[in-house]
Structure 1
C-alpha cells in the first residue's frame, strides 16, 4: 500500500456507508416491492431497512411461507402488507405487474435467484425495460480508499459489447450524480494495460468509449482509459507510468472489461480489503436492490439507501417535468 493510500485509509473504516444511510434517512422512504422474502436473512434485512426509515416494504410471495419464516426466526412483520403469490417466479411476475400499476418505486430481491427476478424484469412485453440496457453496479465502501467506489458491470452483462458498455457507463454516471455522490464522476475504463493495443480488445473499446464521451454519446462524467487497476486508483502508480489524467489515481467509477473480471475484482476487495458492497440494478423503469445472503446488515442498508436516494431523485425530476 502506498503512503497516499495508507493516509486515505486513516479514519475511513466504513464511514462512507454511514454517511450514505444518514443521507437516505432525510428523504421520504421508498415504496418497495420485496420479491419472495422467504428466508431469515432477506426478511430480516427488509425489516431493518424499514425500521431505519429507508423503505416502506410490501412483501410479495407465498404468504404462508413468509409468515412461517417470520415466526420461526422471531421477526415481527405485523403491519406489513403481503401480496400472495404461490412461488418465486410468480412473485417476480406479480411484483413487476405492481410496478406497472404504480404500487412501488423500486424492487428488492428476496430469497429467489437473481435470474428468476430478472426474467420478469426483462420480459419483452410485460417487463420493465427502457431504451437503456439494464446493468448492475456495486457501490463499495473500501476502508483503504478515500472515495466511494462504483464497479460495473459485475452481475448482469457477461460479455458486453461497445454499445452495451456505453449504457453501463451512463447508468453508473446517472446513479452517481442523482444519488448525491457528487458532480461529474471520474470514470476509469479498466484493462490489463494503459496503452491501446490490438492484442487486447478491451483497450480498443476503452479508447472508443472515451471518444464517445468527447462526442456527447456519454454525458455527465469524466472518462479515461484504458487504465490498469493500479493506475486507476493510485496516483503514485499513475505518476510512475507517466500518465497525466484527472481520472488516473482518483477514479470513482471502475468499468470492467466483462462480468468475470468485475465479479472477481469486487470479491477481492470484499475479502482482502474488507470492503462492504451494496448492489443495485439500473436501466429498468425502477431501481432494483440486489442483495446476497453473504451481505452484512450495513451492506443491505446501504443497498436500500442508494436505491432510495436514486428513486427520490427520479421522483423529483418527474414532478418537475410534469409541473
Structure 2
C-alpha cells in the first residue's frame, strides 16, 4: 500500500476497468460492525447461538460485503471524490468467521451527462462461492485528486469482564451433579448485596443463606422487588452477630463459604480471625483481587490488598502461596509471580526489594511451590516485555506476570482500584487461607463483581476438595 491515494477521473475510466480488495473476516470485524451498527442479532455476534442455526457459525451478512464494495469505490476506483448515488445488491451466501473474501468492481456503463458510472459488483469467498452481486451507481470525480493516504487509527475493542464471565461458566460446569454450595451471606441489607447472591444462585453456583436483621433484609428485598422465599433466612440483632453466626456455620460445616454483604470488612474479619472461634488455619489468610483488565491478554492476580497491612517476610510467603493456589484453581497451571517494588535491583534501604530477593530464594528451596517467581520487579517491567527489554532485565517473569505481589496493603489496594476506575478493569475478590473461602467484595462493587467473586469461591473450594481427595464425598446438601 502506497502512502499516496489518487483517484481516477470520469474521463480516465474506460468500460471494463476494475479493482479488487481481499479481506479475511475476523472476530474483531464482527464486533466492530456490531458496535457501529447497533446490530445485536445473535446470528452475528453470539457463537453459541450461531452454531444452532442452519448456517453454522453465521456471523456476518450483506452489510459487511457492502462495506468492502464501498471501500473499493471510494478509495480505488474511481477513488477520492466519488459520491455514492444508488446500489442494488443480492446476497447469496453468508460470510463465516475466518472466510477470506474478494470484492471486485468493474465499470459497466458511463453516463456522460452527469459524469456517473455504473459498476458491476461482486464478492466471492475462498471457495469460489458468490457472497454478493449486483450494481452500484456513483458520481465519478472530474478533477484529479492525489493526497497523502490517511492512516486509520488503531481500534482496540474491549468486552469488559468476559474473562471473569468465563470463570462463571467454568464454575457452573464444575457444579454439575452437585447441589450448589451453601454460602452464608452476611448482613445483606441492601439490594446490590442481595442481587449479587441471587444472580449466583440462579447461575447454579450457590445456595444463599441470608444472615442478619430480618426486618432490614426483607425491607431491602421488597424495595428491589426481590423474592427471598426460596432461601433460608437466619435473623440476628445486628451485623456483629451476623458475622459471628456465619463463622459458626462455617466451622460446623453447614456452609462452604462466607459472602460479605453491607457491613464493614473489619467486622466480618474480626469474627473470621478470632483465635478461638474463627476460621484460622496453619497459614496466614490473605486477599486476592482477580483483575480482568482491557489492556492485558490474561487475568491478573493482585495480592494482598485487603487483609495484611504491612506483611513481614513470613506473611508474604503465605500470601504468595495462597495466590498461587488460587491461580491454579482457576486454570493457570504454573503461574508467574512478580514481586513488586519501585526498582528492579536489591536495595538494602528498601524492605520490599529485600523481601523480593528472599521470597525468590525461598521458592528455590521449595518453601514456595507451584509457580515461577522473580523480583524485585517494578510494575512496568512485570507486565511489559518492551519495558523489561529496554531495562536489560533477563527474567522468565518480566512482561509475563500473572500474579503481582505488592509490598503492602495500601499499594495493592490502590493498584487494583486504579486498574478498575482508570483502566476500565472488572475485578473480583476472595479471601483464602481460611477454613472456607470468604467472598470479600467492596460495598461499591456491582452485581457482576459479586457474581464473579462467587465463582472464584466455588472454584477454589472445588480445588481444595480435589486436593484432599474429597470431591466425590461432598455433602450434597451443603457442598461444604
TM-score normalised over the length of structure 2: 0.64
Equivalences for residues 211-222 of structure 1 within 5 A: 211-222=361-372
Give the one of 438, 457, 460 matched to 1:288.
438
**Residues 317 and 201 (structure 1), Cα distance of their counterparts in 2 relative to 1, 3 Å cut:** closer
Residues 1:253 and 2:403 aligned together:
yes
Q: 2:358 aligns with which of 183, 201, 208?
A: 208
**Structure 2 CA distance for aligned equivalents of residues 8 and 246 of structure 1:** 30
Q: Which residue of 2 aligns with 1:20?
A: 167
Aligned counterparts of 1:276 and 1:296: Cα–Cα separation in 2: 10
Name which of structure 1's ranges 222-231 and 92-101 shifts more when overlaid on structure 2.
92-101
Q: What is the aligned counterpart of 1:301 among 451, 466, 470?
A: 451
Structure 1 runs, 4 residues or longer, greater than 3 Å off: 7-13, 319-323
**SS of 1:25 mapped into structure 2:** helix
Counterpart in the other structure of 1:3: none
Between 310-319 and 286-295, report the one with greater CA deviation: 310-319
How far apart are the structure 1 equivalents of 2:401 and 2:427? 17
- Of 32, 36, 61 in structure 1, the residue corresponding to residue 183 of structure 2 is 32
CA distance in 1, matches of 2:194, 2:306: 22
The structure carrying a bigger strand percent of its residues is: 2
Residue from 83, 89, 110 that aligns with 2:261? 110
* In 1, Cα distance between equivalents of 2:270 and 2:158: 42
The 5 A counterparts of 1:71-90 are 71-90=222-241
Distance 1:123 1:298 in 2: 31
1:152 Cα deviation from its structure 2 partner: 0.2
- Deviation at 1:24? 1.0
Q: Partners of 1:79 and 1:300 in 2: how far apart?
A: 20
**Could you tell me how far apart the structure 2 residues matched to 1:11 and 1:279 are?**
21
**TM-score normalised by structure 1 residue count:** 0.94
SS at match of 1:308: helix
Structure 2: how far apart are the matches of 1:311 and 1:147?
A: 22
Match of 2:425 among 254, 266, 275: 275
* Cα distance in structure 2, aligned partners of 1:66 and 1:10: 40
SS in 2 for 1:160: coil
Instruction: Provide the aligned length of Structure 1 versus Structure 2.
Output: 317
Please show how residues 226-237 of structure 1 align to structure 2 within 5 Å: 226-237=376-387
SS at match of 1:204: helix
Give 2:346's aligned residue: 196
Query: Which has the greater radius of gyration?
Result: 2
Q: Secondary structure at the match of 1:155?
A: coil
Q: Is the 8 A contact 1:30 1:55 kept in 2?
A: yes
- What is the deviation of 1:10? 5.2
Q: Tell me, yes or no, if the aligned pair for 1:9 and 1:145 is still in contact at 8 Å.
A: no
Contact kept in structure 2, 1:54 and 1:308, CA below 8 Å? yes
8 Å Cα contact 2:199-2:451 kept in structure 1: yes
Task: Tell me: CA distance 1:34–1:62, structure 2 relative to 1, closer, same or farther (3 Å).
Answer: same
Mapped contact 1:12–1:144 kept (Cα < 8 A): no
Q: 2:416 aligns with which of 266, 270, 273?
A: 266
Higher helix share: 1
- Distance in 2, matches of 1:137 and 1:9, equals 28
CA distance in 1, matches of 2:332, 2:259: 25
Check if 1:169 corresponds to 2:316: no
- The structural deviation recorded for 1:11 is 5.8
Q: How far apart are the structure 1 equivalents of 2:159 and 2:399?
A: 18
Higher relative contact order at CA 8 Å, sep ≥6: structure 1 or structure 2?
1
In structure 1, runs of 5+ residues without a counterpart are 1-6
Structure 2: gaps (5+ residues): 1-153, 474-480
* CA 1:11–1:209: 2 relative to 1, 3 Å: same
Q: Shift of the alpha carbon at 1:321?
A: 9.2
SS of 2:244's partner is: helix
CA 1:8–1:23: 2 relative to 1, 3 Å: farther
Decide whether aligned partners of structure 1 residues 10 and 107 sit closer, same or farther in structure 2, where only a CA change above 3 A counts: same
The 3-state SS of whatever aligns with 2:173 is coil
The 2-side partners of 1:13 and 1:101 are apart by 38
SS at match of 1:26: helix
- Residues 286-295 or 275-284, more deviating: 286-295
Query: Offset of 1:322 from its aligned partner?
Result: 9.5
RMSD: 1.8
**C-alpha displacement of 1:316:** 2.8
Instruction: State the match for 1:152 in structure 2.
Output: 303
Q: Is the 8 A contact 1:187 1:251 kept in 2?
A: yes
Q: 2: CA distance between counterparts of 1:276 and 1:206?
A: 28
